[in-house]
Amino acid sequence: MTGDHQTLALLLFSAFIAVTLGITTWVSRNRHGSAEEFYAGGRLFSPMENGFAIAGDYMSAASFLGISGLIALFGYDGMLYSVGFLVAWLVVLLLVAELVRNCGRFTLADVVAARMAERPVRIAAGTSSVTVSVLYLVAQMVGAGSLVALLLGGTSEAARSWTVIGVGALMVIYVSLGGMRATTWIQIVKAVLLMAGTIALTVLVLVRFHGDFDQLLATAAERSGHGRDFLAPGLRYGGDWTARLDFISLGIALVLGTAGLPHILSRFYTVPTARAARRSVVWSIGLIGSFYLMTIVLGFGAAAIIGPDAVRASNAAGNTAVPLLALDLGGGAGSTGGTVLFAIVAAVAFATILAVVAGITLASSASVAHDLYASLRRRDAHAKQYSEVTVARLAAAGIGAAAIGLGLLARDLNVAFLVGLAFAVAASANLPVLLYSLFWRNFTTRGAVWSVYGGLVPAVLLVVLSPVVSGGPDALFPGVDFHVFPLQNPGVVSIPLGFLAGWVGTVTSAEPPDAAKHAETEVRALTGAGAV
């Protein structure tokens, strides 16, 4: 990498930081520190704004860099991520978005706690939300680190670490000063930038192949050295039955996880009505769907133009395929076009990381302050609202620190794969309790608590005991081996366990289901009566 790349990319990135800090300052100028303002941005965003913000919250660096990289390395098997990440939105649209908007105030736990004994349910749902968020944050941190490694030549460990720390510091500033309003605007700006950058690259790839997608695929297959196998499933997950089961597990986790992600759920509270929430989701499905279609073109484009070997040489996990592709599309290393395009892609990826981490940090600080802190302390404080927001601001700093530490530790794992883990935990711990609360008449407090822990504990435990953490050269701790669970993704086991635990907890519960509370939840969910 030449100095030009670095200078221009850092310049663009500084511009983005300046703009986002400007937004934060402008928004926080006349803040009044209410919980409504901090967690939900005043609830007056329009569906289009919220749709862009949801897309900005969801289309992470893991998608932009990780999925294209996986497609460039493994061909068709990388496409599963694109498909799963999009189809997941149908679960959100059909079963979750409107009902959650109508029933809740700020967090996932609000929806469940409305029907149940509040304290245990809040603590359970808050714990699992924070766990999911921290896992997801780590994935974004790893993405930031590997991007800088590419920018600065890949060897400077110190630069990589400082980037992770810098990203963490910035996200804490955005969230604790600007709350949901600043976070939303940063996500909207980022979604526009990301879409523009992706469209530009996709057009350039297609122009290179004269608009012939068929020829693009044929060239990618040829360059990959695998021939036609590159375009069919099986390269990454086609080995023994363990690998195939892993693939199925990942697929299930992706499609069910989105509806349990706390930072996605909290976005529905920023619009005034359930109908606006639905229309936000329709917007975001349009944006996200076209984005993932383009990542497929970029991934196969990188395989065809750069070749999987060069991609692998730059970063073993494939995270740098798109920046390399941009460099080549602009005219190659050393050319002005290549320098500019590379710098733009790097800056967009940075922007992506910042916007996504801000959203997750906000959601997890809401879980800490609104669910955990509010349940664990005595309810007698006079200035309760003010102190809850203060706790949320402090929690943002704590979560930032935790994410930085773990991000430094996990830096060699593929970011798309790390996101797959976060999704598995979300699908196991958050989705069952949410669906049961909204749709099951006889659901009880014990069922809710069991359902959260019955999904969360197996999911986390299976990840710890999986080959991801120990026992292989690519593991988090390569030196030791305590892996007993063969799959990398725990979803296929832990998601059914979450649903099962909720069912068992409910049927063994001594407490009878509260028909009146169920009626209230159902009426509010479907009509919006009493919604804030």
Partner 1 sequence: MEKHEGPGAPAVWIDDPWSDALAAGWGESADAEAPGGAGAHATATPGAVPRQQGGRSASDIYLEVQRSPAFQEVRSRYRRFVIPAAIAFLLWYLAYVVAATAAPGLMARPVSGAINVAMLAGLGQFLSTFLLTWAYARHARLRRDRAALELRWDTQEMTRGMQR
Q: Which of 207, 316, 507, 519 binds partner 1 (CB under 8 A)?
A: 519
The residue range among 6-14, 85-93, 357-365, 397-405 that interacts with partner 1, by the rule CB under 8 A, is: 85-93
Give 462's strand partners: none
Contact 388, 35 (CB under 8 A): yes
Question: Quick one: DSSP state of residue 237?
Answer: T
Q: CB-wise, 31 or 518, nearer to partner 1?
A: 518
The Cα 330–Cα 336 span in angstroms is: 8
Among the listed residues 199, 275, 477, 484, the single contact to partner 1 using CB under 8 A: 275
Query: CA dist 321 to 9, 48, 63, 159, 435, Å?
Result: 17, 31, 12, 21, 38
In the complex, what is the shortest distance from the CB of residue 63 to partner 1, in angstroms, rounded to a whole number? 15
DSSP for 2-16, written as a single string:
-HHHHHHHHHHHHHH
- Least separation in angstroms between CB 121 and partner 1: 19
- How far apart are CB 38 and partner 1 at their closest, in Å? 22
User: Which residues, including other chains, have CB under 8 Å from residue 523's CB and lie 6 or more apart?
Assistant: 529
Q: Which amino acid is at 316?
A: A
Q: Which is nearer to partner 1, 254 or 422 (CB)?
A: 254
CA 522 to chain centre: 29
Answer positive or negative: Cα dihedral of 498, 504, 508, 513.
Answer: positive
Distance CA 493, CA 465 (A): 13
User: Binding segment for partner 1 among 82-90, 417-425, 459-467, 481-489 (CB under 8 A)?
Assistant: 82-90
Among 154, 197, 215, CA closest to 64: 197
Q: Which is nearer to partner 1, 247 or 503 (CB)?
A: 247
Q: How far apart are CA 150 and CA 316, in angstroms?
A: 12
Q: Judged by CB under 8 A, which of 10, 19, 21, 90 binds partner 1? A: 90
- The correct pick among 293, 376, 507, 532 for binding partner 1 (CB under 8 A) is 293
228 binds partner 1 (CB under 8 A): yes
Determine if residue 100 is left, alpha or beta; phi over 0 gives left, psi from -120 to 50 gives alpha, anything else beta: alpha
Among the residue ranges 4-12, 149-157, 452-460, 523-531, the one whose residues contact partner 1 (CB under 8 A) = 523-531
Q: Which residues contact 421 (CB under 8 A, 6 or more apart)?
A: 135, 139, 463, 468, 489, 490
Least distance (Å) between residue 231 CB and partner 1: 6
Bridge partners (DSSP) listed for residue 477: 470
| Nearest C-alpha neighbor of 428 from the set 252, 172, 270, 221 | 252
* CB nearer partner 1, residue 136 or residue 291: 291
277 vs 343 by CB, closer to partner 1: 277
**Angstrom distance (rounded) from CA 268 to CA 84:** 21
- Is 11 one of the binding residues for partner 1 (CB under 8 A)? no
In angstroms, the CA 435 to CA 236 distance is 33
Residues 184-223: x where in contact with partner 1 by CB under 8 A, - otherwise, as a string: ------------------------------xx-xx--x--
**Per CB under 8 A, does 527 bind partner 1?**
yes
| 225 counts as binding partner 1 under rule CB under 8 A | no
| Site for partner 1 contains 114 (CB under 8 A) | no
Choose one: 88-96, 197-205, 321-329, 394-402; the region binding partner 1 (CB under 8 A): 88-96
Stretch that binds partner 1, among 32-40, 87-95, 308-316, 414-422 (CB under 8 A): 87-95
Q: DSSP string spanning 101-120?
A: HHH-SSSHHHHHHTTS-HHH
Binding residue count for partner 1, defined by CB under 8 A:
65
* Nearer CB in complex with partner 1: 375/494: 494
* Alpha helix (H) residue ranges in 29-74: 35-40, 47-58, 61, 68-74
Contacting residue, 80, 261, 448, 497, with partner 1 by CB under 8 A: 80
* 420 is a site residue for partner 1 (CB under 8 A): no
Binding mask 30-69 for partner 1 (x = CB under 8 A): ----------------xx----------------------
d(CA 274, CA 43): 12
CA–CA separation, 291 and 283 (whole Å) = 12
DSSP one-letter code for 470: B
DSSP secondary structure string, 387-409? HHHHHHHHHHHHHHHHHHHHHHH
Interaction between residue 84 and partner 1 (CB under 8 A): yes
Query: Closest approach of Cβ 433 to partner 1, in Å?
Result: 18
Q: Which two tokens stand for residue 264?
A: 């996605």
Quick one: which segment of 6-14, 32-40, 273-281, 344-352 binds partner 1 (CB under 8 A)? 273-281
Select 25 or 527, whichever has its Cβ closest to partner 1: 527
Residues 239-258 touching partner 1, rule: CB under 8 A, are 244-245, 247-248, 251-252, 255
Closest CB to partner 1 among residues 272, 467: 272
Which of 267, 278, 370, 446 forms a contact with partner 1 (CB under 8 A)? 278
**Cα–Cα distance between 382 and 386 in angstroms, integer?**
9
- Report whether 168 contacts 145 (CB < 8 A): no
3-state secondary structure of 466: coil
Query: What are the residues binding partner 1 (CB under 8 A)?
Result: 46-47, 76, 79-80, 82-84, 86-87, 89-91, 93-95, 98, 214-215, 217-218, 221, 228-229, 231-234, 237-238, 244-245, 247-248, 251-252, 255, 271-273, 275-276, 278-279, 281-282, 285-286, 289, 292-293, 296, 515-517, 519-520, 522-524, 526-530
